[in-house]
Amino acid sequence: MAIKIYPNRIEFERYSLIIGCNGLFVSSNADLSNTSAYACLTFPDRTFGSAFQGTVAGYISGGFASEATPNRLNTIYKFPFAATTCGCSTGYNLTAGRSGPAGSSSSVSGYSSGGLGPPGLSTIDKFPFANNSAATSVGSLTLARQGAAGISSSTDGYAAGGYNSPFTTYNCLEKFPFSSDTSSRNIGSTYANVGFATGHNSFTNGYTAGGNLSYPPATYSCLAKFPFATEVGTTCIGSLNSIGSQGAGFSSSTTGYTTTIGNCLSSFPFATDASSTCVGSVPQQSGYNNGAAIGNSSTTDGYMSGGYISALSPQTITRIMKFSFSKPDTMTCIGGLVQSRSYAAGQQV
């Protein structure tokens, strides 16, 4: 079979592959404009890269240095996905120390939105992945708060829910563009007033899982979803099999994963609206449950960093855990942060 390659198409036998519709048209050579009789092999729009998965490194920004005597950090840490041995400071910082910011990622920059200083912060900080430059404030959330779920589409960052002193929970769903330095705007409501839910992303939808309805914590079991294509609030599509909050969230191209304060690693599919199931466990440290860890996602693996040990004298931890999206039942320790932290935001490139 002869194959001919042209600047705008590839011909084989009686057919041609032509770039179009964010993918490839399969057309007849007799009429290259007529594609209706053949398939259109569409692919997700990757113009801006994969917004929710990285191929190079994970980032951790802000957070607590100590859970017992909170010291809010402005440092940004980085660890490589290829050979993770430690998470080291990048040498640049957020505009202010903060705990509980929401993390979002474009293909070129990381974003940390809101957090607790104290007082509550509304600033949206942006830092470049390409060089060691300090983060700059590029806008603000409509409400100052911590514990919002950070979500990313290919073009926008989102902050869902959250709470502020004196522990008022919110239901706002906000959106800000990656293409320009602009404040966020409210585009809808979360299914309930909830803080410290985990955020997840498919190519077409954003998700939140669990969280706190109030403080002291009343945990929440809802898995909620909203589309990137239209500006509407979230709807509850299922429930967590293990109710909890302050977890770490991860996203593969097909599945969302979340941990809770317990030791279960739960997963739910993006293709259908369904409740989560427990697919693995999180190894415990010193016999206590872990909470407020940071989640990062590569194209093949999920990474859980830091967190705290829920004991009489809470302490933050340094370990970096990893599990494969193809085999989520096994999570192993692959390194450690040079400084322990919890309640930080996760980004990836």
Residue 175 lies in a domain: yes
- Residue-level pLDDT at 68: 64
Answer yes or no: do 265 and 288 share one domain.
Answer: yes
- Residue-level pLDDT at 343: 93
Answer yes or no: do 123 and 34 share one domain.
Answer: no
Quote the pTM value: 0.84
Beta bridge partners of 291: 308
Answer yes or no: do 144 and 24 share one domain.
Answer: no
- Residue-level pLDDT at 166: 67
Pairing of strands 327-337, 86-93: parallel
Q: Which residues contact 214 (CB under 8 A, 6 or more apart)?
A: 167, 169
Residue 49 lies in a domain: no
What amino acid is encoded at 181 in this protein?
A: D
Residue 51 lies in a domain: no
Answer yes or no: do 24 and 120 share one domain.
Answer: no
Q: What range does the domain containing 21 cover?
A: 3-42
Answer yes or no: do 30 and 97 share one domain.
Answer: no
Residue 122 lies in a domain: yes
Answer yes or no: do 14 and 94 share one domain.
Answer: no
CATH number at residue 204: 2.120.10.80
- Residue-level pLDDT at 182: 97
How many domains in the chain? Answer: 2
- Residue-level pLDDT at 4: 79
Residue 249: which of 115, 127, 314, 344 has the closest Cα? Answer: 344
- Determine the Cα–Cα distance for residues 85 and 307; give it in Å rounded to an integer: 18
- Residue-level pLDDT at 33: 59
Answer yes or no: do 24 and 149 share one domain.
Answer: no
Render 205-268 in DSSP notation, one character per residue. Answer: EEEEE--BSSTTT-B--EEEEEESSS----EEEEE-SS---S--EEE-SSEEEEE-SSSEEEEE
Answer yes or no: do 166 and 310 share one domain.
Answer: yes
Answer yes or no: do 303 and 192 share one domain.
Answer: yes
Tokens matching residue 49 = 């890269």
Residue 52 lies in a domain: no
Per-residue pLDDT of the chain (349 residues; tens, 9 = 90+): 678 776 667 887 777 776 554 455 677 776 665 555 455 554 444 444 445 799 999 999 999 887 666 789 999 999 999 876 678 888 899 999 999 999 999 999 999 999 999 889 999 999 999 987 899 999 999 999 999 999 999 999 999 999 886 678 999 999 999 999 999 999 999 999 999 999 999 999 999 999 988 766 678 889 999 999 999 999 999 999 877 778 899 999 999 999 876 678 999 999 999 999 999 988 876 544 568 899 999 999 999 999 887 654 567 888 899 999 999 998 998 988 888 889 999 999 9
Answer yes or no: do 109 and 230 share one domain.
Answer: yes
Residue 48 lies in a domain: no
Residue 105 lies in a domain: yes
Length of the chain: 349
Residue 254 lies in a domain: yes
- Determine the Cα–Cα distance for residues 294 and 102; give it in Å rounded to an integer: 11
Answer yes or no: do 85 and 7 share one domain.
Answer: no
Answer yes or no: do 14 and 157 share one domain.
Answer: no
Q: Give yes or no for a contact between 103 and 150, defined as CB atoms under 8 angstroms apart.
A: yes
- Residue-level pLDDT at 25: 62
